[in-house]
Structure 1
Amino acid sequence: MEESVVYQEILREGLAKGEAKGKVEATNQIALNMLRSNMSPDLVAQVTGLTLKQIQKLQKISTKQSRTKKSP
């Protein structure tokens, strides 16, 4: 019986971590979409709740991705 309780707790923790990671990824994707739509970093930060520093990192990632897609 104890093993079942421990297993269920581990499962709950794993699910919670997965949900949190999914929310972060979704927020980052929304921010990237907003940046690609030429919205200002300030507006993106206000809407998503991300910091300007996080937005700047996403801009760098987006720029690198667009450069690699254009290269043959």
Structure 2
Amino acid sequence: MRTIAQKYIEEGEARGIQLGEARGEARGEARGEARGEARGKARRNFEVARNLQKAGISIEIISQSTGLTKEQIEELE
């Protein structure tokens, strides 16, 4: 038979586990969103660089506009 103390300990442990899981999920979601946004921005920068390159814009200006390195832009050719 459980004592009152054991009951409260078990309830506290269960609540702690729930809180830990909720915090873990929230952190995971935030990290996932941040990674997704970063990937999306990178893809967009490469797309813009390709379009600027097709328009005959210099690599220096493309680099300044997109934040991509000259090497990254040259690889698009």
TM-score relative to the length of structure 1 = 0.76
Segments of 4+ moved more than 6 angstroms:
none
| CA deviation profile, 1:27-50 (whole Å, cap 9, x unmatched) | 110000000111111211122121
Which one has the largest radius of gyration? Answer: 2
* C-alpha RMSD of the superposition: 0.9
TM-score relative to the length of structure 2 = 0.72
Identical aligned pairs, as a percentage? 32
Q: Which has the higher contact order (CA 8 A, sep 6+)?
A: 1
Q: Structure 1 unaligned runs (5+)?
A: 60-72
Aligned length, in residue pairs: 59
Q: Structure 2 unaligned runs (5+)?
A: 1-18
